[in-house]
Copies of this chain bind each other. A is one copy, B any other.
Amino acid sequence: MNGWEGIRAEVLRRIRARDWPPGALIPGEEALAEEFGVARATVNRALTALAEAGVIERKKRAGTRVAELPVRRARLEIPVIRLDVLGRGLAYDFKLLSDRLTPAPVPVTARLGLAEAQSLRYLETLHLAGGRPFVLETRWLNPAVLPTPAPDFAKVSANEWLVTHVSLVSGDIAFTAEPASPREAEVMGVAPGTALLVAERTTHGTGGPVTWVRLAHAPGHRVQMVF
Scan A66-88; emit 1 where CB is below 8 A from any B CB, else 0: 00011111111111100100000
A71 touches B76 (CB 8 A): no
Task: Say which size band chain A's interface belongs to.
Answer: 35 or more
Count copies of this chain in the complex: 2
A interface SS class: strand
Q: Which residues of B contact A89 (CB under 8 A)?
A: none
Compute how far the CA of A163 lies from the CA of B69 in the bound complex, rounded to whole angstroms. 7
Q: Which residues of B contact A179 (CB under 8 A)?
A: 194-195
Residues of A184-227 contacting chain B, CB below 8 A: 193-198, 206, 217, 219-227
A-B contact pairs, 20 of them (CB 8 A): A71-B77, A73-B75, A73-B77, A74-B76, A74-B173, A75-B75, A78-B227, A170-B226, A170-B227, A171-B227, A172-B225, A172-B226, A175-B175, A175-B222, A176-B221, A177-B177, A177-B178, A177-B195, A178-B195, A197-B197
Among residues of B, the one whose C-beta sits closest to the C-beta of A198 is B177
How distant is A71 from chain B, measured CB to nearest CB, in Å? 5
* A90 located at the interface, meaning its Cβ lies under 8 Å from any Cβ of chain B in the complex: no
Q: Which residues of B contact A177 (CB under 8 A)?
A: 177-178, 195-198, 217, 219, 221
* A143 located at the interface, meaning its Cβ lies under 8 Å from any Cβ of chain B in the complex: no
* A2 located at the interface, meaning its Cβ lies under 8 Å from any Cβ of chain B in the complex: no
Compute how far the CA of A76 lies from the CA of B223 in the bound complex, rounded to whole angstroms. 12
A220 touches B176 (CB 8 A): yes
A174 touches B83 (CB 8 A): no
Known: A175-B197, A177-B177, A198-B177. A72 touches B222 (CB 8 A): no
* A168 located at the interface, meaning its Cβ lies under 8 Å from any Cβ of chain B in the complex: yes
Among residues of B, the one whose C-beta sits closest to the C-beta of A18 is B167
* A16 located at the interface, meaning its Cβ lies under 8 Å from any Cβ of chain B in the complex: yes
Compute how far the CA of A78 lies from the CA of B171 in the bound complex, rounded to whole angstroms. 19
